[in-house]
Structure formats: structure tokens, C-alpha cells
């Protein structure tokens, strides 16, 4: 159910993209307890000379950066889970990318369950339906 868009500074690199996807998928499962089979990760690369911090390009700063946005269902994680995820993403991407500018962001967007879904159904519908199935199987 999470959809993740990861923007990374630098030239397009399919091998690096796969490494990033594997690591982000692992963290999303382990830290936020999200199911890999419904986790989507999109990786985009932005050239260093087109990424700016305080009006100076990353090429000029000789560093890398990232911006990760993840959409998850509202109220499915505690504050500590989200804080741990932000820290783990930063540490992991620093390991994979090298020198990371401190102004590299992770944004967790919590979507209301009645306004978010996949397979043509809302998360709220899936939750209620699963509760009914569980109650009927007892």
C-alpha cells in the first residue's frame, strides 16, 4: 500500500536504482511493517547541476542529496516508527550514495483510508472487508 517516490541527485544509473529500491523496500518492511507485495518504489535521478540548496547547485557543493516521499495509510504507524524510518533512510542512503547534504528530506504522507487505495478499492474498504472475513472464519 505504500507508494514511494525517491529522487536522487546524479546521473541515471539502473544498477544504483535497483540497490536503492532494495534498501528502501527492506526499510519500509522492517521499520514501518509494510507489505512488500503492495509496495511501489519509483526512482528518479536529477543531475547535480539542476539540484540546488540555498541557490547553489549540488555540483558546486560537490555533494549528493535525495528526497524521499512515501504515502502510507493514516494512523498505521506510531511517531517513533516514523522517526526511526526517517533516520534509517538517511543513514542507508548516506551509505549508498556517499557524501549527503544535510538538507536531504524524507517525507511521510499519511493518507486517509477512505481516500487512498489500490486495485480499485479504498484501504478502508479492504480493512473492513478483512475484518468481516476474519469474524466469519471464527
| Domain layout of the chain by residue ranges | 3-136
**Which residues, including other chains, have CB under 8 Å from residue 18's CB and lie 6 or more apart?**
none
Cα 13 from Cα 48, distance rounded (Å)? 13
> Tell me, what's the pLDDT at 67?
98
Q: What is the pTM of this model?
A: 0.92
Pick the CATH number of 3-136 from 3.30.420.40, 3.30.429.10, 3.30.870.10, 3.40.50.300: 3.30.429.10
**Residues whose CB falls within 8 Å of the CB of residue 65, separated by 6 or more in sequence, listed in order:** 8, 9, 51, 53, 58, 100, 101, 103, 104
Q: How confident is the chain (138 residues) per 10-residue block, as mean pLDDT?
A: 96 98 98 97 98 98 98 96 98 96 98 91 88 86
Predicted confidence at residue 134, as pLDDT, reads 86
Judge whether 48 and 59 are in contact, CB under 8 Å: yes
Ramachandran region of residue 33, left (φ > 0), alpha (ψ -120 to 50) or beta? left
Amino acid at each position: 500500500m505504500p507508494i514511494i517516490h525517491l529522487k536522487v541527485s546524479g546521473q541515471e544509473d539502473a544498477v544504483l536504482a535497483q540497490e536503492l529500491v532494495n534498501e528502501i523496500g527492506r526499510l519500509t518492511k522492517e521499520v514501518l511493517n509494510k507489505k512488500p507485495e503492495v509496495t511501489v518504489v519509483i526512482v528518479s535521478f536529477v543531475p547535480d547541476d539542476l539540484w540546488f540548496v540555498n541557490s547553489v547547485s549540488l555540483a558546486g557543493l560537490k555533494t549528493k542529496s535525495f528526497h524521499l516521499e512515501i504515502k502510507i495509510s493514516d494512523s498505521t504507524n506510531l511517531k517513533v516508527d516514523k522517526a526511526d524510518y526517517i533516520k534509517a533512510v538517511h543513514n542507508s542512503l548516506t551509505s549508498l550514495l556517499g557524501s549527503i547534504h544535510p538538507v536531504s528530506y524524507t517525507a511521510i504522507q499519511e493518507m486517509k483510508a477512505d481516500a487512498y487505495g489500490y486495485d480499485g478499492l479504498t484501504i478502508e474498504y479492504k480493512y473492513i472487508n478483512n475484518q468481516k472475513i476474519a469474524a466469519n472464519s471464527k
